[in-house]
Structure 1
Amino acid sequence: MPKIRKISKLTCQRIGFMQSSAALESLVIKDCSELTSLWEEPELPFNLNCLKIGYCANLEKFPNRFQSLTSLGELKIEHCPRLVSFPETGLPPTLRRLVLRFREGLKSLPHNYTSCALEYLEILMCSSLICFPKGELPTTLKEMSITNCETLVSLPEGMMQQRFSNSNNTCCLHVLIIINCPSLKSFPRGKLPSTLVRLVIMNCTKLEVISKKMLHKDMALEELSISNFPGLECLLQGNLPTNLRQLIIGVCENLKSLPHQMQNLTSLRDLTINYCRGLVSFPVEGLAPNLASLQFEGCENLKTPISEWGLHRLNSLSSLTIANMFPVVVSFSDDECYLPTSLTSLSIWGMESLASLALQNLTSLQHLRVSFCTMMFSLFSINTKKHVQDIY
């Protein structure tokens, strides 16, 4: 009898199934409504390295010896509402990738997940999950994503670096994503890992302000994205990592100012500030000198005119977007705004009073977008045939 190594969609598990599947390496169980438990038989698929289970409405438990599957490297469980917990024995120590997606059901994570060889952890739509087990995160964990967990009130303490800690366990996260966790109130004490390269925080409306101690100049952080964060009032003056390449801030209505030391962020290439209505002024020292892309949209109370942004000093700037701002501005010209000649893409929209546009000095311009400027009646001093490829 040939050995079965892969089953891509199992919908019904019969008695004696495992006797013919001892060599199984990959198993996907989906829409198996009759399944209430996994492997009640004494035999387990010890060669299994990938297990995915989804939409099994009556699945209630895993085998007590689940930890014995020492070849298992990937586990994904989706929408099994009656599965509320894992066996006390926990997860296999070899597990590298764990994905949990529950609309309802799961109330707690496996207590020993911190001792696995996890590299990737994704928790999505676990509406009954309130907190993480105590303890350190696996030192192997590189990426953690927590999304749409409505009742989650706290993050794992082990994700932070403590200044005075006797623990030898050091968190080495590279990517941390937290999205749509409306009950989350604060980060644990300490600093974010110095190894962190990407940090995304979106729609966590009760989250308190990010402490100055959490971010530090010597971090490896390259991408910082914060959206719909009412607690953000300032961007950690002087504490932004010098490695930062992309900074995205959106819908932070209480943000009043940009960092005054932005000129020191020499690695920053992409700056996007959208719908921060509390922002009223620009940093006097100007922006990061090596910006390639700059977007400001919906910052309707920003009073600093474009001519004072210091754009002429940005010799690497190739893309500029200004939208839904400056409602009384009538004309826009490269001379008045001191636009850099390096621009290849310019987008302007939602400037209600804008009536004319003069861009005769932007000889590198290839893409021009002008939209929702209801008073616009003339485009002049621009050689569209010679310089601009797209106008829309």
Structure 2
Amino acid sequence: MFHHNNNALEDLNILGYPNLRIIPDCLYNLKDLQIGKCENLELQPHQLQGLTYLTSLKITNCENIKMPLSEWGLARSTSLKTLTISDYHHHHSLLLPTTLAELFISSFKNLESLAFLSLQRLTSLKRLCISSCPNLQSFLPREGLFNTLSELFITYCPLLIQRCSKEKREDWPKIAHIPYVKIDDRLIL
């Protein structure tokens, strides 16, 4: 199936292979890649940089991926629309592609800020979901988020939830323009 001449594969889900160490290099026509619960997976920079048709990337519960996000080459992508990252432990500066419409961040246990993601560059972002980041205190750039953002979901992030509540008003003015804001399963109007 993973022969180097196989260029018809567009969707690939690799879930629940704790002993998997590498993925093949012949996945250049993928549009949708999902990798989860592969604790020993070692991604190489060229493997993600070569995925020029990729529209959706989801990497969850792969704690041992050593490659920093900054080396994934995502900023050069012109087709990536949806990115989901969960249980990732490197927080180096990262430029995401401006084509990104949906961003899902979850289970970053020690993360205090999303400044490393340069959210202010995401001019196409429509949906932002942040979940299970207990130490996250800040995700907003000083300038706020673009008016393109139409949905914001925040769950299980107690420090961030305090800052974004209408009552506290610390970050509320920066997100008040977003039409649909849901914080811990409560719709905020």
TM-score (normalised: structure 2) = 0.79
Q: CA deviation at 1:335?
A: 5.9
Q: CA deviation at 1:175?
A: 0.8
Structure 2: where are the runs of 5+ without partners?
Answer: none
Query: Separation in 1 of the partners of 2:13 and 2:94?
Result: 27
Amino acid in structure 1 at the alignment position of 2:187: R
Q: Structure 2 vs 1, CA of residues 331 and 283 (structure 1 numbering), >3 Å: closer, same or farther?
A: closer
Is 1:185 equivalent to 2:21 in the alignment? yes
Show the counterpart of 1:349: 184
Is 1:237 equivalent to 2:82 in the alignment? no
Q: CA deviation at 1:236?
A: 4.1
For residues 281-315 of structure 1, the C-alpha deviation after alignment (integer angstroms, 9 at most, x for no partner) is 32357212211000111112334x24x43573311
Match of 2:151 among 300, 305, 319: 319
Q: Percent identity?
A: 24
Query: Separation in 2 of the partners of 1:271 and 1:236?
Result: 16
Amino acid in structure 1 at the alignment position of 2:85: I
Any conservation in 2 of the 1:185–1:206 contact (CA below 8 Å)? Answer: yes
TM-score (normalised: structure 1) = 0.41
Query: Separation in 2 of the partners of 1:259 and 1:345?
Result: 28
Q: How does 1:211-360 map to 2 (within 5 A)?
A: 211-216=44-49, 219-232=52-65, 234-237=68-71, 239-240=73-74, 241-250=77-86, 252=87, 254-257=88-91, 260-262=94-96, 265-283=97-115, 286-287=118-119, 288-303=122-137, 305-306=138-139, 308-309=140-141, 312-327=144-159, 329=162, 332-333=165-166, 336-337=170-171, 338-339=174-175, 341=177, 343-349=178-184
Show the counterpart of 1:369: 187
For residues 153-207 of structure 1, the C-alpha deviation after alignment (integer angstroms, 9 at most, x for no partner) is xxx4x25xxxxxxxxx35332111111122222223x3x5332100011112222
Cα root mean square deviation, aligned: 2.9
Any conservation in 2 of the 1:291–1:317 contact (CA below 8 Å)? Answer: yes
The worse-fitting range, judged by mean Cα deviation, of 226-235 and 291-300 is: 226-235
Q: Which of the pair is proportionally richer in helix?
A: 2
Q: Structure 2 vs 1, CA of residues 281 and 217 (structure 1 numbering), >3 Å: closer, same or farther?
A: farther
Query: Separation in 2 of the partners of 1:283 and 1:331?
Result: 16
Query: Separation in 2 of the partners of 1:179 and 1:281?
Result: 29
**Which structure is higher in RCO with an 8 Å CA cutoff and minimum separation 6?**
2
Corresponding residue pairs, total? 180
Query: Separation in 1 of the partners of 2:179 and 2:94?
Result: 28
For residues 336-357 of structure 1, the C-alpha deviation after alignment (integer angstroms, 9 at most, x for no partner) is 321162x22111129xxxxxxx
Query: Separation in 1 of the partners of 2:52 and 2:69?
Result: 16
Query: What SS does the aligned partner of 2:13 have?
Result: strand
Amino acid in structure 2 at the alignment position of 1:301: N
Show the counterpart of 2:11: 175
Structure 1: where are the runs of 5+ without partners?
Answer: 1-136, 138-155, 160-168, 351-367, 371-387
Q: Structure 2 vs 1, CA of residues 200 and 298 (structure 1 numbering), >3 Å: closer, same or farther?
A: same
Q: Structure 2 vs 1, CA of residues 311 and 202 (structure 1 numbering), >3 Å: closer, same or farther?
A: farther
